[in-house]
Structure 1
Amino acid sequence: MRRTLMVLTAVLTVLVSAAAPASAQTRPRGIADRLMLQPEDLGGSVPGPVEDGLTWPLLPQPCADAPVPRPVASRTQAGDLGTRLRVYENVARYRGAGGARAYIDELKAQLARCGVGGDQEGFDPVAEDHMGPDMVLFLGTYDEGDRYVGYFAAAAGCYVVVVMMSDSLYGAADLTTLNGLGSAAMARAAS
């Protein structure tokens, strides 16, 4: 028994040692600055880090029990738009355009299956493919459905861009402005 344990320990040590250099070589690179929303997109506001304790996900998964495709790299940032709107962005890179589209397809399916409406809290679908293919507009509702954040999510090549907007004054994001920011984020990710 002791000899078997020693052999297993030796084999595991060799496997872990052999895997370490391989995993270091395949570590994904980060998301470049040029792919993120810039101050000119945010009315001059310089984006910065997302504050701790943000309760809304920046890569949404509406059905808690169903996984979504995971990216190989992602980056988030936040910025103000005027005095009351707060904008959050996540750019995630997938393995090829098929991986990015797979996330958007699964997001749409989960919104249809697990979306809420009325006085419920959760994710509420608004529109699909409203400005082109592989995109979705939806809400994150709270306060018994009376308040919401807006989400714009789209695939652009091998990237998924998610732009979320909150409104500190009214508790209801401006979806027209959100669509404009989402379009700018898509253009940057496609460049």
Structure 2
Amino acid sequence: MQKAPTPKAPRPVPQRVMLQPADLGGAVPGPVEDGFAWPLLPQPCADTPVPRPAAGHSQAADYGDRFRVYENVARYRGDGARSYLAELKAQLDRCGVGGGGDGFHPVAVDHLGPDMALFAGNYDEGDRYVGYFVAAAGHYVVVVVMSDARLGAPDMTVLNDLGSAAIRRAGSARR
């Protein structure tokens, strides 16, 4: 009797796809600390699932003396990355908050091209937030999250620049 073939384990996301020290002002990324409260693959509507990736990789780094940057790159099969972005944007429309409460607040959608969103994760009744840049690049979804230890409000322009670098890295990689 012949054994059924064992399914292949998903290939990990290669390190070259991730933001590098040159992108992060010289900071060397490391692991995401235990207890990080924000999702690295956002799902604004808690009761509605989003497409799940085949593999993912996360890292974190200090950016200057004010910001902490988190990155998650998820690899999808087929058209899964674009499907995730379509669902994310629909959930931001349906379940996002208007800026005065806890949850997600859309800032810009498709502002640098298709399949991307810039939004805030609000907390402390909307007085503090983290910034999110999420985009599909080929088979990858890149998520860059920025927090600000001093003011509780990240620099969305810097976040947008880091997100653009993340798209270039993921877009230049082969599956």
TM tier relative to shorter chain: over 0.9
AA aligned opposite 2:127: D
TM-score, with structure 1 as normaliser: 0.87
1:60 pairs with one of 30, 42, 47: 42
Q: 1:152 — aligned with what?
A: 133
AA aligned opposite 1:85: F
Contact 1:123 1:140 in 2 (8 A): yes
After superposition, the C-alpha distances for 1:73-129 in whole angstroms (9 at most, x for unaligned) are: 000000010011000000000003x11000000000000000002321001111100
Tell me how far apart the structure 1 counterparts of residues 107 and 95 of structure 2 sit (CA, whole Å). 13
1:34-183 pair list within 5 angstroms: 34-96=16-78, 98-183=79-164
Contact 2:99 2:122 in 1 (8 A): no
Contact 1:36 1:189 in 2 (8 A): yes
Q: How far 1:151 moved relative to its partner?
A: 0.1
Q: How far 1:173 moved relative to its partner?
A: 0.8
Contact 1:124 1:141 in 2 (8 A): yes
Q: How far 1:144 moved relative to its partner?
A: 0.8
Contact 1:46 1:79 in 2 (8 A): yes
Describe the SS at the equivalent of 1:160: strand
Contact 1:31 1:74 in 2 (8 A): yes
2:6 pairs with one of 12, 22, 45: 22
Q: How far 1:22 moved relative to its partner?
A: 2.1
Calculate percent identity across the aligned residue pairs: 71
AA aligned opposite 2:13: I
- Could you tell me which runs of 5 or more consecutive residues in structure 2 were left unpaired when the two chains were aligned: none
Q: 1:11 — aligned with what?
A: none
- Could you tell me which runs of 5 or more consecutive residues in structure 1 were left unpaired when the two chains were aligned: 1-17
TM-score, with structure 2 as normaliser: 0.95
Describe the SS at the equivalent of 1:39: coil
| RMSD (Å) for aligned C-alpha atoms | 1.4
Q: How far 1:29 moved relative to its partner?
A: 0.8
Contact 1:117 1:145 in 2 (8 A): no
Runs of 4+ in 1 over 3 A off after TM superposition: none
In the alignment of these two chains, the number of paired residues is: 172
* Structure with more helix by fraction: 1
